[in-house]
A and B are shown apart, each in its own frame.
Chain A
């Protein structure tokens, strides 16, 4: 487990994507089977090993440490597993630390009553870094500082022949830890694993942002238009062997949406948008966030935040791969399939009829519902190709909204930006209880500025700091930023009562006095919570 613990530790602290891939690549290339496969499962979230409750760790700590010292230490460190890992007394032992596969195998075959003695023997044989990994692993608290996608990119890089990470993606969900056939294939020792009928993820087709320059070159007759919905894109996969809901990034999010899984009584692979829909109206994105990342979803959650899927493409039907067909043909198949199957909690994303690009411009300009981010343009003859093929699909977002806000706090960035104050919290004016004007923070922006503007802002922050809180500086409330954002939505979780979608810095306004910045009321007037004017699908 030494290499695994070291990998976890470095991933947690490493901000750079390429550096994370390099760390993963080294791990997969140097560790033996089956350990590296178990490590891969841990990194990709396929390993769930919650065998111990925090109480077990507390009891173990109590058996080896003084209660007063433990209390002071826990208070200082703030994390139970880390406290125990750090203060566990060093024992005289010749036993080597357990291997990852040994840990997983032993835990699977052990009675609960034997856990304390098994775990403490492992802790005795390990150093602090291995102890921490071990305790996090057995309590299900393992946080890996890398996505499953990065692991697959790293796997593609250790292959002895050219492999696209998407090829691994397509077979991934048909594989299981410790992934021996996968490693054998990548190292040229075995055939490519065939997922057969397993409900695997299919890498999605993505769209390019449409710029003004691209627009002029488009021929209206070649393209079909749909709304771009502000939800999360999902892939519904239902085969005889199982049902899965995948996010765009290949994460299995089925557990968060059990009512959708229940409604997937068919054999097909579908592309669509997951939305919270109440009485036919799409709710703000913040509502959908309530449903994301939940391991267990209760009846109340399902009632309060009812979800549905708005379908826009079909990839497989009854085992037949429809991806090579043109979009128009797939759309026809999707509609026919939908008429026939009539799945619950699903509807079709409507096609928007238009004759000319001018007409389309007008439709886009009129779409003011918060649930709509803009338009999607898809070539009628486009096959479904993974990745972002040029000129096939375009996303054409609405023009952003803007406000003039006052810079309030700045925080240091990460990685390449760690020497810059690059994350900006900004606020708007409102009247406080005593009738005086006060600034209330409404959002954070990390992007939108040029390198030159970043350098300028960094210097300004350093020269106008009024208080420091570690990586955060409070600044004089005298600098105005023009902030662009896609939508404003009501939010009970924000002090200001409003949340911005994709805020970014549009312009620096050194010319504008802070007291002339916008008021919170101005932003509130831009809130759009009802998707009026949007046609619902049949």
Chain B
């Protein structure tokens, strides 16, 4: 693209090779760390919260989306009407990023990753308490938690710190560099250590964070009788958790749940919403009953990195056929 405005640095939203990129300062820093300074966009322009720039006849500004560090909603004003593009967002407090700000608008373009009433995320502190109770019950085992490198990982660390876990948290190699960017951006994560290069016994009773793909794969063989956990909004549905071979599913998500999607639509007061990124039909049906017009907007490439760990492959797992019968 000639000119791209990026909501946040997840790979399904921040693609390499645009000639000019506009984003929040933290998003630009994360993109440089992930893509390399040269592929993160020809010219990069940082826009702080509330700063306005004109692009053509449109006034553009960014507002926090509460999804991950630097994540933004894009606010577009033109001729007295306002469109807000939410990007991915959540409404729960998150010590690792600025909280979502609802902005009154005429058209609200919303994500819908968890747009079914079965998705209601519990209090994350409750999920962390379950993790710590399990660590106490199995002191000789390593608890390995599957989580995404950008956002989920740092939020889990922050939640563990809030719950009083002061010990070093061990990281898979793929997670370390983004934690360093968070630290640079002023988000303090406490003592972190690599999970590799240690004797098996050294990780007894420890908490290890790793990408979801690693927790049940060969990488995890180095751990001491691991309790495999996975932090994702999808863990709410048993079959999903079962098919991943997860022993301790933790329902912790960086997306709005069903109630929050609906509350947010009501709060921004837009008469029309465009729904991207997930299951449109239920949300459109539900806001329709409240007099809001909904349209499904199919975007390219949605639903990869921060889809919270379950791509089409895992969806099929639930239907894996018994070939003998």
Which residues of A are interface residues toward B (Cβ below 8 A)?
6, 10, 12-16, 19, 22-23, 26, 65-66, 68-69, 72-73, 76-79, 82-83, 86-87, 90, 127-128, 408-409, 411-412, 414, 416, 418-419, 425, 441-444, 468-472, 493-496
Residues of B within 8 A of A441 (CB): 323-324
Q: Please measure, in the bound complex, the distance between the C-alpha atom of A494 and the C-alpha atom of B323, giving whole angstroms.
A: 9
Q: Which of B223-246 contact A (CB under 8 A)?
A: 225, 227-228, 236-239, 241-243, 245-246
Judge whether A19 and B138 touch: CB under 8 Å.
yes
Residues of A within 8 A of B130 (CB): 6
One of B89-97, B102-110, B200-208, B212-220 contacting the partner = B212-220
One of B17-25, B27-35, B159-167, B313-321 contacting the partner = B313-321
Residues of A within 8 A of B237 (CB): 76-77, 82, 86
Smallest CB-CB A-B distances: 4 pairs: A470-B317, A86-B118, A87-B117, A418-B245
A471 in contact with B120 given A82-B238, A419-B217 (CB within 8 Å): no
Closest to B136 in A: A26
Q: Please measure, in the bound complex, the distance between the C-alpha atom of A409 and the C-alpha atom of B313, giving whole angstroms.
A: 16
B66 nearest CB across to chain A (Å)? 21
Closest to A19 in B: B138
Judge whether B318 and A72 touch: CB under 8 Å.
no
Judge whether B314 and A470 touch: CB under 8 Å.
yes
One of B171-179, B187-195, B280-288 contacting the partner = B280-288
| 27 A-B interface contacts by CB (under 8 A) | A16-B225, A19-B247, A73-B116, A73-B282, A76-B116, A76-B118, A77-B237, A77-B239, A79-B239, A83-B118, A86-B120, A86-B237, A127-B122, A412-B245, A416-B225, A418-B216, A425-B324, A441-B323, A441-B324, A470-B313, A470-B314, A470-B316, A471-B245, A471-B320, A472-B320, A493-B325, A496-B324
Task: Identify B243's interface contact among A83, A471, A493, CB under 8 A.
Answer: A471
Q: Please measure, in the bound complex, the distance between the C-alpha atom of A413 and the C-alpha atom of B134, giving whole angstroms.
A: 23
Q: Given A76-B237, A77-B239, A418-B245, output 8 extra A-B contacts at Cβ < 8 Å.
A: A19-B141, A69-B116, A73-B118, A77-B118, A87-B116, A87-B118, A419-B219, A495-B325
Q: Please measure, in the bound complex, the distance between the C-alpha atom of A199 and the C-alpha atom of B263, giving whole angstroms.
A: 60
The reply to whether the CB of B299 lies closer than 8 angstroms to some CB of chain A is: no
A63 nearest CB across to chain B (Å)? 15
Task: Identify A26's interface contact among B137, B246, B313, CB under 8 A.
Answer: B137
Q: Please measure, in the bound complex, the distance between the C-alpha atom of A66 and the C-alpha atom of B118, giving whole angstroms.
A: 12
Q: Please measure, in the bound complex, the distance between the C-alpha atom of A22 and the C-alpha atom of B138, giving whole angstroms.
A: 8
Residues of B within 8 A of A419 (CB): 216-221
Q: Please measure, in the bound complex, the distance between the C-alpha atom of A426 and the C-alpha atom of B232, giving whole angstroms.
A: 35
The reply to whether the CB of B41 lies closer than 8 angstroms to some CB of chain A is: no
Judge whether A13 and B285 touch: CB under 8 Å.
no
A13 in contact with B243 given A68-B285, A419-B216 (CB within 8 Å): no
Judge whether B247 and A15 touch: CB under 8 Å.
yes
B228 nearest CB across to chain A (Å)? 7
Q: Please measure, in the bound complex, the distance between the C-alpha atom of A76 and the C-alpha atom of B225, giving whole angstroms.
A: 33
B23 nearest CB across to chain A (Å)? 34
Q: Which of B60-84 contact A (CB under 8 A)?
A: none
Closest to A87 in B: B117
Q: Please measure, in the bound complex, the distance between the C-alpha atom of A311 and the C-alpha atom of B119, giving whole angstroms.
A: 55
Residues of B within 8 A of A82 (CB): 237-238
Task: Identify B238's interface contact among A12, A14, A495, A496, CB under 8 A.
Answer: A12
Closest to B115 in A: A72
Q: Please measure, in the bound complex, the distance between the C-alpha atom of A421 and the C-alpha atom of B231, giving whole angstroms.
A: 24
The reply to whether the CB of B128 lies closer than 8 angstroms to some CB of chain A is: no
A180 nearest CB across to chain B (Å)? 26
Closest to B134 in A: A10
Binding site secondary structure of chain A: mixed
B157 nearest CB across to chain A (Å)? 24
Residues of A within 8 A of B324 (CB): 425, 441-444, 494-496
Task: Identify B247's interface contact among A13, A470, A495, CB under 8 A.
Answer: A13
A17 nearest CB across to chain B (Å)? 12
A463 nearest CB across to chain B (Å)? 13
The reply to whether the CB of B147 lies closer than 8 angstroms to some CB of chain A is: no
Closest to A68 in B: B285
Task: Identify B137's interface contact among A22, A127, A408, CB under 8 A.
Answer: A22
Task: Identify A72's interface contact among B122, B241, B281, CB under 8 A.
Answer: B281
Task: Identify A128's interface contact among B122, B246, B282, B321, CB under 8 A.
Answer: B122
Judge whether B137 and A469 touch: CB under 8 Å.
no
Judge whether A494 and B247 touch: CB under 8 Å.
no
The reply to whether the CB of B249 lies closer than 8 angstroms to some CB of chain A is: yes
Judge whether B321 and A469 touch: CB under 8 Å.
yes
The reply to whether the CB of B275 lies closer than 8 angstroms to some CB of chain A is: no
Judge whether B138 and A66 touch: CB under 8 Å.
no
Residues of B within 8 A of A471 (CB): 243, 245, 317, 320
Q: Please measure, in the bound complex, the distance between the C-alpha atom of A103 and the C-alpha atom of B36, giving whole angstroms.
A: 59
Closest to B236 in A: A86
Q: Please measure, in the bound complex, the distance between the C-alpha atom of A103 and the C-alpha atom of B321, giving whole angstroms.
A: 38
Residues of B within 8 A of A19 (CB): 138, 141, 227, 247
Q: Please measure, in the bound complex, the distance between the C-alpha atom of A419 and the C-alpha atom of B228, giving whole angstroms.
A: 11
Q: Please measure, in the bound complex, the distance between the C-alpha atom of A77 and the C-alpha atom of B120, giving whole angstroms.
A: 14
Residues of A within 8 A of B289 (CB): 66
Q: Please measure, in the bound complex, the distance between the C-alpha atom of A66 and the C-alpha atom of B117, giving whole angstroms.
A: 10
Residues of B within 8 A of A73 (CB): 116-118, 282
Q: Please measure, in the bound complex, the distance between the C-alpha atom of A79 and the C-alpha atom of B239, giving whole angstroms.
A: 9
Q: Please measure, in the bound complex, the distance between the C-alpha atom of A69 and the C-alpha atom of B116, giving whole angstroms.
A: 7
Q: Please measure, in the bound complex, the distance between the C-alpha atom of A418 and the C-alpha atom of B141, giving whole angstroms.
A: 15
Closest to A65 in B: B117
Q: Please measure, in the bound complex, the distance between the C-alpha atom of A441 and the C-alpha atom of B285, giving whole angstroms.
A: 46
Judge whether A469 and B320 touch: CB under 8 Å.
yes
Judge whether B216 and A72 touch: CB under 8 Å.
no
Residues of B within 8 A of A469 (CB): 316-317, 319-321
Residues of A within 8 A of B236 (CB): 86, 128
B282 nearest CB across to chain A (Å)? 5
Q: Please measure, in the bound complex, the distance between the C-alpha atom of A472 and the C-alpha atom of B219, giving whole angstroms.
A: 19
The reply to whether the CB of B40 lies closer than 8 angstroms to some CB of chain A is: no
Residues of B within 8 A of A416 (CB): 225
Q: Please measure, in the bound complex, the distance between the C-alpha atom of A434 and the C-alpha atom of B234, giving whole angstroms.
A: 45
Judge whether A90 and B325 touch: CB under 8 Å.
no
Judge whether A414 and B245 touch: CB under 8 Å.
yes
Residues of A within 8 A of B120 (CB): 86-87, 90, 128
B144 nearest CB across to chain A (Å)? 11
Judge whether A78 and B239 touch: CB under 8 Å.
yes
Residues of A within 8 A of B285 (CB): 66, 68-69
Q: Please measure, in the bound complex, the distance between the C-alpha atom of A22 and the C-alpha atom of B246, giving whole angstroms.
A: 18
| Most chain A CB neighbours (cut-off 10 Å) among B227, B228, B237, B316 | B237
The reply to whether the CB of B248 lies closer than 8 angstroms to some CB of chain A is: yes
Judge whether B239 and A425 touch: CB under 8 Å.
no
A455 nearest CB across to chain B (Å)? 10
Residues of A within 8 A of B216 (CB): 412, 418-419
A341 nearest CB across to chain B (Å)? 43
Residues of B within 8 A of A23 (CB): 137
Q: Please measure, in the bound complex, the distance between the C-alpha atom of A33 and the C-alpha atom of B188, giving whole angstroms.
A: 45
A298 nearest CB across to chain B (Å)? 24
Q: Please measure, in the bound complex, the distance between the C-alpha atom of A14 and the C-alpha atom of B247, giving whole angstroms.
A: 5
Residues of A within 8 A of B325 (CB): 493-495
Q: Please measure, in the bound complex, the distance between the C-alpha atom of A119 and the C-alpha atom of B233, giving whole angstroms.
A: 27
Residues of A within 8 A of B259 (CB): 90
Residues of A within 8 A of B238 (CB): 12, 79, 82
Residues of B within 8 A of A425 (CB): 323-324
Q: Please measure, in the bound complex, the distance between the C-alpha atom of A408 and the C-alpha atom of B322, giving whole angstroms.
A: 12
Residues of B within 8 A of A83 (CB): 118
Judge whether B241 and A13 touch: CB under 8 Å.
yes
| Most chain B CB neighbours (cut-off 10 Å) among A23, A87, A418, A468 | A418
Judge whether B321 and A72 touch: CB under 8 Å.
no
Closest to B219 in A: A419
